[in-house]
């Protein structure tokens, strides 16, 4: 058994690189099947979020370069194109990395709980694809337990600052009073739900929720007396929005430059704050060049989030101590499995040797050899 965790995240790669290597839900199962179809890969799982894309593997070969080459090739990148952005953690380093991710220590927002849910969904997808086995199953279950321990025994999760909270805080810095503004929320996932909650608490009550499926959007809209539209209807309502927050899983931009230009004309060039939290991006980058458009991406929230990190240093130190101890605990289990496998192999060899000796003796007896000559 040889564990490997590799990938890139918000710390090592800018948005324009991260959006090239995401795994959409439509390709995830196929990618796992392709990955574990290689003779050197026994198990695999993929975590793909707006801030990170990571692959966790159980290798049966010492060469760890093949999965990384596969990752680049799958996304149509040249072999060295991702060099400098990727990190790789073998063995105990892989265990520690997964535990830190699950506990929120490796997140842009230290201690945020959303990544644990994302990791659980990644594990569920891998199980459904049949790409996990004994080692990764144990690792994921252990990481979920450790994340719970970290949250229970430290203050890492107290008053968490989420990406959605940072987005609303940035909007407040730009507009001051949000109560007179209208927001267009594009998407209906967890980040948009949190953004709606924080906006409502900040006094903003005029919301439009746009989503591919109206049913999910309506469920969110009912909580805040908002109204819903489909993605196709966005151009007809864009001029109503002072604030646009978008977070979908669309593989291509939903808000084009021509759409925003038309909306600005209708608004008589009143400014619009646009926050694109999606990876790949939901908003064409050229939109940010338009006068009266203030376009921000998830990477622009870092300065707000950094303030949160400073207040959590002691909690992080305590969490790291818990994780270091749990890495040792997990590796003890891994090593015990290797010992068990060795003992089992020796026992099988001994049994086979006995069987071979017995078979040879029986053949000689049938051939007329004296029993005492065989003892």
Q: Exposed (0-12), middle (13-18) or buried (19+): which is 79, by Cβ within 10 Å?
A: exposed
Distance CA 273, CA 288 (A): 10
SS3 56: strand
Cα 22 from Cα 250, distance rounded (Å): 11
Catalytic residue, candidates 50, 168, 305, 322: 50
57 is catalytic: no
For residue 294, the 8-state DSSP code is: E
The alpha-carbon radius of gyration of the chain (Å, integer) is 27
- DSSP state at residue 372: G
Q: Are 44 and 32 in contact (CB under 8 A)?
A: yes
Q: Which of 58, 210, 197, 231 is nearest to 138 (CA)?
A: 58
Cα–Cα distances (Å) from 83 to 4, 88, 179, 279, 283, in that order, read 17, 11, 47, 20, 27
DSSP-assigned letter for residue 154: S
Checking 66-75 for CB contacts under 8 A at 24+ apart, the result is 66/38, 66/40, 67/4, 67/6, 67/35, 67/40, 67/41, 68/6, 70/34, 70/35, 70/38, 71/6, 71/7, 71/21, 74/31, 74/34, 75/20, 75/21
Positions annotated as catalytic residues are: 50
């Amino acid at each position: 058994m040889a564990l490997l965790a590799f990938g890139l995240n918000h710390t090592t790669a800018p948005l324009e690189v991260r959006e090239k290597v995401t795994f959409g839900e439509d390709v995830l199962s196929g990618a796992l099947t392709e990955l574990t179809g290689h003779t050197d890969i026994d198990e695999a799982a993929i975590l793909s979020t707006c801030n990170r894309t990571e692959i966790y593997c159980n290798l049966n070969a010492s060469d760890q370069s093949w999965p990384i080459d596969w990752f680049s090739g799958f996304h149509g990148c040249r072999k060295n194109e991702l060099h400098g952005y990727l990190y790789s953690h073998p063995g105990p380093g892989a265990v520690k990395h997964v535990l830190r991710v699950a506990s929120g220590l490796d997140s842009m927002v230290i201690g945020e709980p959303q990544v644990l849910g994302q990791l659980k969904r990644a594990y569920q997808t891998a199980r459904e694809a049949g790409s996990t086995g004994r080692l990764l199953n144990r690792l994921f279950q252990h990481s979920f337990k450790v994340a719970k321990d970290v949250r229970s025994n430290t203050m890492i999760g107290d008053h968490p600052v989420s990406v959605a909270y940072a987005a609303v805080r940035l909007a407040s810095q730009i507009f001051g009073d949000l109560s007179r503004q209208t927001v267009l929320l594009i998407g209906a996932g967890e980040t948009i739900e949190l953004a709606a909650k924080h906006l409502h608490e900040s006094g903003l009550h005029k919301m439009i929720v746009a989503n591919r499926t109206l049913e999910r959007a309506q469920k969110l809209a009912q909580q805040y007396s908002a109204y819903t539209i489909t993605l196709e209807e966005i151009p007809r309502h864009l001029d109503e929005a002072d604030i646009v927050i978008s977070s979908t899983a669309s593989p291509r931009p939903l808000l084009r430059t021509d759409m925003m230009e038309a909306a600005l004309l209708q608004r008589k060039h009143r400014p619009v704050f646009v926050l694109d939290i999606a990876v790949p991006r939901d908003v064409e980058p050229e939109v940010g060049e338009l006068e009266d458009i203030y376009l921000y991406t998830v990477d622009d929230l870092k300065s707000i989030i950094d303030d949160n990190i400073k207040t959590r240093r002691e909690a992080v130190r305590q969490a790291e101590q818990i994780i270091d101890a749990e890495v040792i605990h997990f590796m003890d289990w891994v090593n015990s499995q290797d010992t068990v496998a060795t003992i089992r192999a020796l026992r099988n060899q001994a049994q086979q040797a006995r069987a071979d000796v017995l078979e040879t003796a029986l053949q000689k007896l049938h051939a007329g050899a004296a029993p005492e000559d065989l003892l």
